[in-house]
Amino acid sequence: MINELIDIGANLTHKDYKNDLNKVINDSQNLNINKLIVTGTNTEESLKAFALTKQYPKILYSTAGVHPHNAKEYSDSAELAIYQLAKNTSVVAIGECGLDYYRNYSSKKDQKNAFIQQINIACDLNLPLFMHQRDAHEDFVKILTPCMSNIEAGVVHCFTGTEEMLGVYLKLDFYIGITGWICDERRGMDLQRMVSRIPLNRLLIETDCPYLLPRTLKVKPKSRRNEPKFLTEIVRVIANNTDYSIKEIADATSENAKNIFKIG
């Protein structure tokens, strides 16, 4: 069995887990995936994520924030809710926040504003940032760079960018979250080629479940729903594309997550 693993990005408030969340968590624990961080994507989902941490103490932790898709909803009341949630020890990061110019569900102006405000919250509270970036690399870096001396830590969640982007994020001392995207033979080949460039002390693993079911699974669930238990497959594929052993990946990513998010 793989050593202890930590899934740093799980959307467990999603309706897909409405009827069997307890089993999903137990299944992950049976594979030594002992800690999961539940992602908050807006005020309502952040509150739900926090509520789950109370149901499963010392197993579930959460983030609080507003996703760029929801940036148009960012307001004084949303900011207050994030601050209040972040006072709880089980809330371990600000986010998911950032920029997404691929979908543009919120305007670029609203996205930038919400991102900047959440960076300020993270700096104010000395909490790490859990960040999303898609098709917005230049603005993403432009916004973050002046703040780097005040940012406690930053995670580029679900990294799918170019080798150049990876180099920039590593120079900024960000951590890189790898998901089941690396298991996708259609669109994950570039990530397979560059994952060895990520030092162990900057590597994190996440399922982003229920999305991004690893396509390399030999037996796939009929529902096509991703779960935290499939984090082991992500580790296996990373090991196959680097010189790192499964044990090294498990040990390093768990230690990184514990240090960044102050858990465990």
Q: What per-residue string of b and e applies to 142-165 under the rule 16 or more CB within 10 Å gives b?
A: ebbeeeeeebebbbbbbbbbeeeb
Cα 109 to Cα 8: distance, rounded to the nearest angstrom: 28
Cβ(47)–Cβ(85) below 8 Å:
yes
Name the CA dihedral angle for 47, 50, 52, 55, rounded to a multiple of 10 degrees. -120
Q: What residue numbers bound the domain in which 199 lies?
A: 5-261
What CATH number should be reported for the domain holding residue 16? 3.20.20.140
Residue among 14, 17, 111 nearest 65 (CA)? 111
Residue among 123, 72, 127, 130 nearest 96 (CA)? 130
| Per-residue confidence in pLDDT tens, the chain, 264 aa | 777 999 999 999 999 999 999 999 999 999 999 999 999 999 999 999 999 999 999 999 999 999 999 999 999 999 999 999 999 999 999 999 999 999 999 999 999 999 999 999 999 999 999 999 999 999 999 999 999 999 999 999 999 999 999 999 999 999 999 999 999 999 999 999 999 999 999 999 999 999 999 999 999 999 999 999 999 999 999 999 999 999 999 999 999 999 999 997
Structural domains counted in the chain: 1
